[in-house]
Structure formats: structure tokens, C-alpha cells
């Protein structure tokens, strides 16, 4: 029952516009072959090998991509990924620390996730902050966000479809360890939450910073930008199936109930041939 929204949308679209697909076979193939970002395995495809150092220079990644970067301890590293309505993103990061012989103490690492409006988003669970022992080789961090809603009131800080920034940094360390080289891996995946999370209303544009300035200036959006298969249009929800299914069942039940009052077939007292 829990068909993912985009898959169903795609199937519905292909069915409804069969003629268009036959004309544009390549397009059809591309649409059909494209793996859903949320469907990729844990390993993830190789992503960018650099990270940005501010919101403005954040490196764009897609969900399911494993972004890596060489950095110095103390750097603030930024990535941006798109998340659509109905998804519940999980951000994971792994920091490979420098050799313990060169370090002078424990260090505390943290990931923060911000939405396209640069509002900090809460992690429902996961190891957002973790302390690495002086002899530890790696630290693994994770953050599970709330489900992205298609719409929310402006006074709420619910996650909305759009860009999400990941910031990874060390928040506590021995002063002597600043500037030592580290290797980091980051990946964002998401679980599809299905129709239960489908709310009414929709944003005119996803919350991608610079959305309105981009077309005016002809520049590139600072944090690219959209999921591999585009933003969902917002009209499909599995609630249609539930509601239509409910209607059909109600109709069947109505017919059944009507039949109960009629008995089985022709009344026996009516002679044949009448």
C-alpha cells in the first residue's frame, strides 16, 4: 500500500501520457531507468570531493551520494542537498581523525542541519554531537530530521521542500590540534513517509535560496538545487487510493446490504414463467 509518491506519480504520468512517451522514447527510458534517490543502497554513489566553507559556497550533493573532503580540524564544512515533501532525511557523517600520536586530546564533533531559510532544523534522533576519545580513529555522526511537509504556517519552523545545509565541524578540542588534517565523508538519505505525511497546501517554489534572484541575474543558484527527478508536483498522494478505495468498498457494501434484504435470487413463491 505504501507506494512511494514519486514512483506512482511517474507511473501515472507515463500511463496518462503514453503518446508523449512513445514519441520521446529516450525521455521515457531516462525517466524509467533513473533510480530513485531514496532507493539507493547504504554505500552511495561517489559524490563531490570538496566541501564548501560557508552557506554561500556549500557544495551541492544529491541524496544517496557520498561526498568526501580533505579538510583541516577546525574548518566549518558545508554541503547542501535537496529534500522533497514526504521525505524524512537522515544525514550521516564520518570523520577520519589524524593519527592519534599527533593529537593532544579528545575532540567533540557535531553536525548541524539548516533548511533553505538557514533556520536550524532539529534532529529527532541520532548522534548529532559525539566525542572522540584521544585514541579513536573515526567519529560517526548522524541526524534524523523531521518529515518534510509540503506546506506549513509561516510561524512554524517545520521542514519544507527545498535545500538543506549540512554543517560539520569540531566544537571542542585541545587547542594544539587545530589545523590537523582530517578526512570526512557525508551522505544524506531519506525514508519516504508515504501518505501519512501528506498535508494540504503547497509552496509556489521550493525553499531554495536565491530562487527568485537566479533568473533575474542569470547566475547559478548558490546551493544547487533540485532532486535528480525534479520536485514533486504535489497533487499525488496515496490518500487518493485510500479514499477512492473506501468509496468503492462502501458501494460494494451498499449493494451487499441491499441484497441481504432481498434474499437469495427469485422468491420461491413466484411460479416460473410469470
Partner 1 sequence: MIIRKRLTAGVCVLLATLAAGLGTALPAAADEPSAAASPKVELVLDVSGSMRTRDMGGESRISAAKQAFNDVLDAVPEEVQLGIRTLGADYPGDDRKVGCKDTKQLYPVGPLDRTEAKTAVATLAPTGWTPIGPALLGAADDLDGGDSTRRIVLITDGEDTCGPLDPCEVARDIAARGIHLVIDTLGLVPDAKIRQQLTCIAEATGGTYTAVQNTDELSGRVKQLVDRAAEPVVTPVATEGAGSCASAPELQAGLYTDRQEIGKHRWYRVNVLPGQELRASVSVAADRAVDNDYGILLRAVTAHGREIVRGAESGTGRTDAISTGLRYPKPEQDDADVSDSDVKPAAEAVCLQLGNSFSAPASVKTTPGMPVELTIDLVDAPDESADVAAFGLGRGWWLLGVMVLTGLIAGLLFGWISRWRVAVWRTN
Q: Is residue 272 close enough to count as binding partner 1 by CB under 8 A?
A: no
Residues 197-216 within binding reach of partner 1 (CB under 8 A): 198-216
Q: How far apart are CA 153 and CA 211, in angstroms?
A: 20
Number of residues counted as binding partner 1 (CB under 8 A): 108
Residues 118-147 within binding reach of partner 1 (CB under 8 A): 118-120
Residues 69-88 within binding reach of partner 1 (CB under 8 A): 70-72, 74-76
Order of all β-strands in the sheet with 181-192: 45-46, 65-72, 181-192, 87-96, 138-145, 123-125
Near partner 1 by CB under 8 A: residue from 7, 11, 40, 50? 50
Which burial class, exposed, middle or buried, applies to 200 when counting CB atoms under 10 A from its CB (0-12, 13-18, 19+)?
A: exposed
Near partner 1 by CB under 8 A: residue from 45, 100, 138, 233? 233
Q: How far apart are CA 128 and CA 130, in angstroms?
A: 7
Q: Is residue 219 close enough to count as binding partner 1 by CB under 8 A?
A: yes
Q: Is residue 222 close enough to count as binding partner 1 by CB under 8 A?
A: yes
Nearer to partner 1 among residue 47 and residue 222 (C-beta): 222
Q: Which grid cell is 206?
A: 521550493
Residues 138-197 within binding reach of partner 1 (CB under 8 A): 150-151, 154-155, 169-172, 175-176, 178-181, 195-196
Residues 238-257 within binding reach of partner 1 (CB under 8 A): 238-240, 242-243, 245-247, 249-257
Q: How far apart are CA 97 and CA 50, in angstroms?
A: 17
Q: CA torsion angle for 258, 260, 262, 266 (degrees, to 10)?
A: 120
Amino acid at each position: 500500500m505504501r507506494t512511494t509518491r514519486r514512483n506512482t506519480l511517474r507511473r501515472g504520468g507515463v500511463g496518462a501520457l503514453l503518446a508523449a512517451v512513445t514519441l520521446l522514447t529516450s525521455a521515457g527510458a531516462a525517466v524509467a531507468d533513473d533510480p530513485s534517490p531514496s532507493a539507493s543502497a547504504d554505500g552511495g554513489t561517489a559524490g563531490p570531493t570538496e566541501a564548501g566553507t560557508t552557506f554561500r559556497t556549500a557544495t551541492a550533493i544529491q541524496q544517496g551520494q557520498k561526498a568526501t573532503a580533505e579538510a583541516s580540524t577546525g574548518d566549518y564544512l558545508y554541503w547542501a542537498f535537496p529534500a522533497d515533501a514526504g521525505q524524512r532525511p537522515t544525514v550521516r557523517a564520518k570523520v577520519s581523525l589524524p593519527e592519534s600520536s599527533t593529537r593532544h586530546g579528545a575532540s567533540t564533533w557535531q553536525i548541524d542541519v539548516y533548511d533553505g531559510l538557514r533556520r536550524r532544523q532539529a534532529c529527532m534522533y541520532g548522534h548529532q554531537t559525539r566525542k572522540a576519545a584521544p585514541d579513536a580513529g573515526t567519529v560517526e555522526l548522524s541526524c534524523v530530521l523531521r518529515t518534510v511537509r509540503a506546506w506549513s504556517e509561516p510561524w512554524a519552523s517545520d521542514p519544507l521542500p527545498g535545500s538543506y545545509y549540512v554543517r560539520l565541524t569540531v566544537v571542542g578540542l585541545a587547542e594544539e590540534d587545530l589545523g590537523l588534517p582530517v578526512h570526512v565523508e557525508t551522505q544524506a538519505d531519506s525514508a519516504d513517509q508515504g501518505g501519512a505525511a501528506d498535508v494540504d497546501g503547497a509552496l509556489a517554489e521550493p525553499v531554495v535560496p536565491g530562487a527568485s534572484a537566479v533568473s533575474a541575474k542569470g547566475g547559478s543558484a548558490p546551493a544547487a538545487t533540485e532532486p535528480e527527478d525534479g520536485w514533486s508536483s504535489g497533487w499525488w498522494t496515496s490518500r487518493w487510493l485510500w479514499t477512492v478505495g473506501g468509496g468503492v468498498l462502501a458501494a460494494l457494501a451498499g449493494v451487499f446490504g441491499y441484497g441481504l434484504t432481498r434474499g437469495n435470487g427469485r422468491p420461491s413463491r413466484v411460479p416460473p414463467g410469470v
